[in-house]
Structure 1
Amino acid sequence: MPPQAERWFKRILPQGLLGRSLLIIVTPLIVVQLVSTYIFYASHWDTVARRLSGGLAGDIGMVIESLRSFPGPDNRLRILGMAASKMDLDMRLDVGGILPNTSPPPPRGIMERALFEALRDRVQRPFLIDAASFEREVAVRVQLSDGLLEVFVPRKRLFSSTTYIFVLWMVGTSLLLLGIATVFMRNQVRSVRKLAAAADSFGKGRDVPNFKPEGAVEVRQAAQAFKLMQDRIKRQMRQRTEMLAGVSHDLRTPLTRMKLQLAMFGEVDGRAELEEDVAEMEQMVEGYLAFVRGEGGEASAPTDLAGLVEEVVGRYRREGREMDLHVEDTLVMPLKPKAMARVLSNLIGNAYRYGGHVWVRVGRRPDAAEVIIDDDGPGIPPESREQVFKPFFRLERSRNLATGGVGLGLTIARDIVRGHGGEVLLEDSPLGGLRARVRLPL
């Protein structure tokens, strides 16, 4: 199949599982109906129409032969009366009548074609069929030597109602089966959608407390595997947090002793360097614990993102920082408020550390909410924008913690945002510095 035709074929196919499943069910059903209808119309209905028309043409031919064999008005009345009572044929002889000298219209439909062929074979006289002038009868006019014979035939003698009954039963049962299949397939697809929604919620860091496997055996197996995976990930995160909390406690004790001993040393050579090393170790431990705490622990709750940004910006403004804030709309969405506040504080703090002025915008996009933070600082080279998200990576290579930090701020921010199913992107700012774009799915 050519690529263009394949793309067109994919576009017209249903995209959802329910639509495709129904297509798999409906296509064979339609094919069977078409084949059955063709066979019925081509053989059964045609055969029945020919037999009915042949019987009618034979009756008309017998009456014509009787009129020719037994002439006279009395015999004519007797023969036409017997045709009406025994054959259900309303016959009238117009003495001296002549068929119109016009070519008859071509027969339409199976019934007219069968009747035309039967009259041509069995009557063998000029005739005309009128199936349109009367609703319940078909008029047949036959030219005789002494006049025009008019025959009015009830349509039920030429028409079999089994045709419509067959079609109605076939279409009705097909629609019934399609409705039943739709109900069952919708129930099966619902369980798949619930599994997809649970996986999406868990990927965004939200709890899925009431999820239970349901549906077909394969869907239940996938749901059960998802629950086991969810439990393993939660257990791993909990064990990691507890382990690092213990490491923090163990490290803080010797650090505290080292600080006390340094304070008792007095003025000795190398004391300032040792104090700086101890402070750096302490800050690194606190930063790594903050990184671990950003992975979980806090429950998601409906939160106004715009209000949260305004709250974080307000704290910086109270410190005397200059900042422009533009909020487009109220955005209530499931968030971990404390974790997201830490993300905004880290990004805005970085912008203030390297820039003189900061611009913050909050808005709604078609599929996500965005927080954009621009500064007028030196920015970050494009080749280093992915590396700055690595733990303990610092563009500023000095040991001054006041200017470079410990290299975990952006790591924590991306980890928290990805835990919400979003992403943090670094771009060139139109103001000359760096732009941090936070995208969160709605």
Structure 2
Amino acid sequence: MWKFSMVYLWNKFKALRNYLAYQIFAYFALMIVLVLSLALALPKFDARIFNPIEDKELHFFNQESQNTQLEYNLDEIFNRNLKVTTLHGFNVILFDQDTNTVVGVDKKHLNALRAFIFRANNPLEPLQRRFGIIEIHGPFLVSTGSQNYYQYFIDQVDPQMEVFNAIFDSPILILLILFAIFTPLLIGLSLRIAKPVKALRLSADAVATGNLTIDEKLETEGISELRQVGKSFNRMILSLQKLTSYQQRLLSDISHELKTPLTRMQLAVSLIRRRNGESNELTRIENEIQKLDTMIHDLLSLSRQQVNLHLRREIFPINKIWEDIFADAKFELEQHNLDFLVSLRVLHPERFYINGNVATLSSAVENVVRNAKKYATSCIKVIIYIEKNDLVIIIDDDGTGVPDDQYEEIFRPFYRVAEDRARQTGGTGLGLAIVYNAIQQHKGIVGAEKSPLGGLRIKIQLPLWLE
């Protein structure tokens, strides 16, 4: 039973470690403990503070005290104020506690020794401290039979580096050092928390741009709370994939169901014309059938555009948008005695990229060119350039243009500037709506304004791929 309880608690603890609240608490608790430990321990490394003598050194100095007691006449040394050095190079200092007399010290070290004696005055707890180039150890009790002395040892040492002195003397510098030490830990904690959040954000951005790809790492990496969000996010993507697939099948079925009766109607009109000859009524019916067929085709194109955008996305060079359609457009417009001018103001366009569906964007630009062809009288001009982080494509024609108050309306489905104009061009009012939908799906902007050539200007702005 006890073993089972321990296993249960251990499993609970392992599960707890993946939670954000636990990780933040654990990291900050660890850092607080480490900061306090270092703040308390750092001063211990300052050789200028009083420190107890370690056991090994204490044994050595006790042995050295016994040697001086046996080898030298300490009373004579004290009375004559002699300077004595041991075989190991230590200066022997004698201090009479009754008379407060110090013997055997250089005058330049007397003040340091007095300061040391004031603090280190118990032979049961000898101390050591560094003063510049000397280090003092003591006191050790020695006796001559008639007199007891406190004995101190002075040794010549290398002075502690000034940089360490400056650090130990400045609390601000110590805090800065501690901050520099623990900053990587804070950065590590931040990255550990931010990494799965960034992955989730990138996945959300990808879905927003139409990329319905499931990222399994969202469910297996990072803290527990974000894993749960990742699972829900992937389930949402799966639902969108099913919905998109259903929409594609529905479009295919609608296309088939609508095309079939239209084909039969066209066949019936042909049979009636063969039997009864040509008539205005048959021509009117045939024109309406053709208009309905074009309208259905445009509607299906508009719907397929959204489906294909989600299913077929890639990162491609911007020149792929126009390199094929401009060549075809130039040839076609020449047959209608129209000039087609392209001003490409982008150096090395193959070095700039867009994330999206190249066929959809090419179709959008082609639709604008074809729309301009319907109304242009002699010339169509295209200008392409980069503005900040956007690709800008401008298409001008020298036609009759559009009234100023209808620049936004022309992008609405089925909107026509004039009914007689639509009859002349055979338009369904869906061409620019398809363009607007394609650009909007790529997080771009499309607008209309008066062209310097006198007709209509369509301006397309598409964000470049920067990541």
Common topology (TM > 0.5): yes
Match among 223, 234, 240 for residue 241 of structure 2: 234
SS at match of 1:294: helix
Specify every segment of 5 or more residues in structure 1 that has no aligned partner in the other structure, as ranges. Answer: 1-20, 52-71, 100-106, 120-130, 139-150
State the match for 2:134 in structure 1.
Answer: 136
Alignment of 1:183-194 (within 5 A): 183-194=188-199
Q: Greater CA deviation, 356-365 or 179-188? A: 179-188
Match among 361, 365, 368 for residue 347 of structure 1: 368
State the match for 1:145 in structure 2.
Answer: none
Alignment of 1:301-316 (within 5 A): 301-316=314-329
Alignment of 1:206-221 (within 5 A): 206=211, 208=213, 211-213=216-218, 214-215=220-221, 216-221=223-228
Query: Is the contact between residue 428 and residue 434 of structure 1 (CA under 8 Å) also seen in structure 2?
Result: yes
Match among 286, 301, 323 for residue 340 of structure 2: 323
- Change over 3 Å in CA distance of 1:245–1:75 after alignment to 2: closer
Superposed CA offset, 1:125-148 (max 9, x none): xxxxxx77xx3369xxxxxxxxxx
- Change over 3 Å in CA distance of 1:334–1:88 after alignment to 2: farther
Q: Provide the rounded CA distance (Å) in 2 between the counterparts of 1:355 and 1:362.
A: 20
State the match for 2:418 in structure 1.
Answer: 396
1:281 aligns with 2:267: no
One-letter code aligned to 1:77: R
State the match for 1:386 in structure 2.
Answer: 408
- Change over 3 Å in CA distance of 1:34–1:385 after alignment to 2: farther
Query: Is the contact between residue 204 and residue 418 of structure 1 (CA under 8 Å) also seen in structure 2?
Result: no
1:244 aligns with 2:251: yes
State the match for 1:76 in structure 2.
Answer: 79
Number of equivalenced pairs: 360
Q: Provide the rounded CA distance (Å) in 2 between the counterparts of 1:192 and 1:200.
A: 12
TM-score (norm: length of structure 2): 0.60
- Change over 3 Å in CA distance of 1:402–1:316 after alignment to 2: farther
One-letter code aligned to 1:371: I
- Change over 3 Å in CA distance of 1:186–1:37 after alignment to 2: closer
Q: Provide the rounded CA distance (Å) in 1 between the counterparts of 2:176 and 2:94.
A: 34
State the match for 1:440 in structure 2.
Answer: 463
- Change over 3 Å in CA distance of 1:312–1:211 after alignment to 2: farther
Query: Is the contact between residue 82 and residue 103 of structure 2 (CA under 8 Å) also seen in structure 1?
Result: no
Q: Provide the rounded CA distance (Å) in 1 between the counterparts of 2:178 and 2:299.
A: 67
Query: Is the contact between residue 360 and residue 373 of structure 1 (CA under 8 Å) also seen in structure 2?
Result: yes
Q: Provide the rounded CA distance (Å) in 2 between the counterparts of 1:210 and 1:341.
A: 29
Indicate the percent of aligned positions where both proteins have the same amino acid: 21
Query: Is the contact between residue 422 and residue 428 of structure 2 (CA under 8 Å) also seen in structure 1?
Result: no
Shift of 1:291: 0.7
Root-mean-square deviation (CA), in Å?
Answer: 5.2
SS at match of 2:416: coil
Query: Is the contact between residue 396 and residue 453 of structure 2 (CA under 8 Å) also seen in structure 1?
Result: yes
Shift of 1:239: 2.1
Query: Is the contact between residue 340 and residue 381 of structure 2 (CA under 8 Å) also seen in structure 1?
Result: yes
One-letter code aligned to 2:411: F
Query: Is the contact between residue 308 and residue 337 of structure 1 (CA under 8 Å) also seen in structure 2?
Result: yes
Superposed CA offset, 1:210-235 (max 9, x none): 55324312222222232222222232
Shift of 1:429: 3.7
SS at match of 2:458: strand
TM-score (norm: length of structure 1): 0.63
Q: Provide the rounded CA distance (Å) in 2 between the counterparts of 1:236 and 1:207.
A: 11
Specify every segment of 5 or more residues in structure 2 that has no aligned partner in the other structure, as ranges. Answer: 1-22, 53-74, 96-101, 120-130, 137-151
